Amino acid sequence: MSSNNEQSITLPTGKTIKVNTGLFINNEFIDSIDGKRFDTINPTTEKVITSVAEASANDVDKAVDIAIDAYINVWRNFSGYDRSRLINKLADLMERDIDELATIESLDNGKPFTLVKNVDIACTIKTYRYFAGFADKINGEVLQSEPDKFDFTRREPYGVVGAIIAWNFPLLLQAMKLAPILTCGNTVVLKTSEYTPLSALKVAALIKEAGFPKGVVNILSGYGPTAGAAIANHMKIKHVSFTGSIPVGKSILKAAADSNLKHVTLELGGKSPNIIFADADMDEAVKWAHMGVYFSSGQFCVASSRIYVQDTIYDEFLEKFKNRAESTKVGDPFKEDTFQGPQISQTQFDKIMSFIESGKKQGAKLLIGGERDGKEGYFIKPTIFTDTNEEMTIMQEEIFGPVTAISKFSTVEEVIKKAHLTKYGLAAAVFTKDITRALKISSELNAGTIWVNCYGLYEPNAPFGGYRESGIGREGGETALNEYTQLKSVQVNLAKFKF
């Protein structure tokens, strides 16, 4: 059933914007097959923004069949140049509508408008442009072979790729999937988080406006146990790419094995250590550490929820970091000076508070924070624990909130050992003026990304992914092209049969 599904949303400023809220299938916004819808909540006010169509397994089937047809009959026949042109056109349109995109994202996700516009969407556009440049440069290689043979390889798309993204960076995560998937010549069925469906639906409208053929990109709003599970188990999807928690990632890996043994890319959680040595630039280390904890309300997979400070500067660092954390502007995402917005939902708010309670019960010292900020919205005050040990829950589990623990260390060997005492391996940081030490520690830390004298920087040309239980495969960089293509070997005989 077709419907324009366009709804008006009134912003805090009084301005009204229109958003399509249907399932985006075959370049149209349509109702779900069973007609179900669900509400999306403004985490700043705890009030309903609007409702969107809810995808079921039947809707996933429909989208996959359309994506297969688009791949076979249209998209695989597009040249790399033409794919690049369309992806760049999408980036152009996002630049044109950047204020509206940032507004929708802030409303639905709770992130400060200024940070969404200047960080999240800027990185999103950069990601599309970066991968667009590879669309006509996905090459195989000529292999060394016998004189009477000609051997070479080709990189070819999978066909239909399923993508499932999280709610913490809806626009950027969408780009990190769509950009390389489309660049490599695949079609896609993407499911957004039920917490943050709106910005992806705005991008869907821009995808249509950019001129992408029907069925190449299909975007579904829905829940993990239904639409997400249908994607993971689908027999016609050849690759699934997921960003989210370790338990869900494991269930997707199992579903891939139990269905058609589809290829899997998983970007999962982290418990990233930030290691600060006595020779570090103290003020810079404090600023970056603060960014590494409280940016995005602590709701990002590489957040430094463990900060290790060398004992000789521990007291000085702690005092300066505490002062900066206490000065963090928490509140309305649409106020220019706001740095930290709300948590995404009541569920996430309660989860973070339970971690805080566990820290107190297990003997950690609550230095600041640990409580709700205000009476409306899912706000939590910036929180710092000290006097922790590696057995505590807050030192082992991903909190995904504005909470960190600061601990002392004396030697390099000691801090590397502590850094590895979790199941994660997504990221880490080192602050020191000694480049030899920085390079040595970078080589010894078991993590997919190491930052030196900075924290949380993103560049689309850098591979991103984790060691251990933090994931499988890499997103970002030229390496991502290998995730969304299959390698074919071609051997050409130039001589007569001689066996």
CB atoms within 10 A of CB 15: 10
- End-to-end CA separation in angstroms for the chain: 62
Mean pLDDT of 276-294: 98
Question: Which position has the token pair 């000789």?
Answer: 312
Each residue of 453-472: pLDDT tens digit? 999 999 999 999 999 999 99
Each residue of 152-190: pLDDT tens digit? 999 999 999 999 999 999 999 999 999 999 999 999 999
Mean pLDDT of 57-61: 98
Which of 13-22, 119-128, 214-223 is least confident?
13-22
Nearest-angstrom CA–CA distance, 365 and 240 = 42
Nearest-angstrom CA–CA distance, 499 and 494 = 14
Confidence of residue 4 (pLDDT cuts 50, 70, 90): low
* Per-residue model confidence (pLDDT) at position 1: 41
Res 416 pLDDT > 60: yes
* Residue with the larger pLDDT of the pair 93 and 148: 93
* Per-residue model confidence (pLDDT) at position 2: 44
Res 20 pLDDT > 70: yes
Whole-model pTM: value is 0.95
Coil, helix or strand at residue 155? strand
Res 125 pLDDT > 70: yes
Question: Which position has the token pair 């010292």?
Answer: 365
Question: Which CA distances in Å does 92 have to 79, 120, 135, 407?
Answer: 20, 16, 17, 46
* Per-residue model confidence (pLDDT) at position 145: 85
Which of 11-15, 229-233, 316-320, 428-432 is least confident?
11-15
Question: Which CA distances in Å does 98 have to 84, 101, 171, 208?
Answer: 21, 5, 11, 17
User: Which residues have C-beta within 8 Å of that of residue 129, sequence separation ≥ 6?
Assistant: 87, 88, 91
* Per-residue model confidence (pLDDT) at position 11: 78
Each residue of 357-401: pLDDT tens digit? 999 999 999 999 999 999 999 999 999 999 999 999 999 999 999
* Per-residue model confidence (pLDDT) at position 3: 53
User: Which residues have C-beta within 8 Å of that of residue 85, sequence separation ≥ 6?
Assistant: none
Catalytically annotated residues: 267
DSSP string over 208-277: HHHTPPTTSEEEEE--IIIIIHHHHH-TT--EEEEES-HHHHHHHHHHHHHTT--EEEEE-----EEEE-
Share the mean pLDDT of the chain. 96
DSSP lists the bridge partners of residue 24 as 29, 219
Structural domains for the chain: 12-268+472-487 (3.40.605.10), 273-459 (3.40.309.10)
CB atoms within 10 A of CB 307: 25
* Per-residue model confidence (pLDDT) at position 497: 85
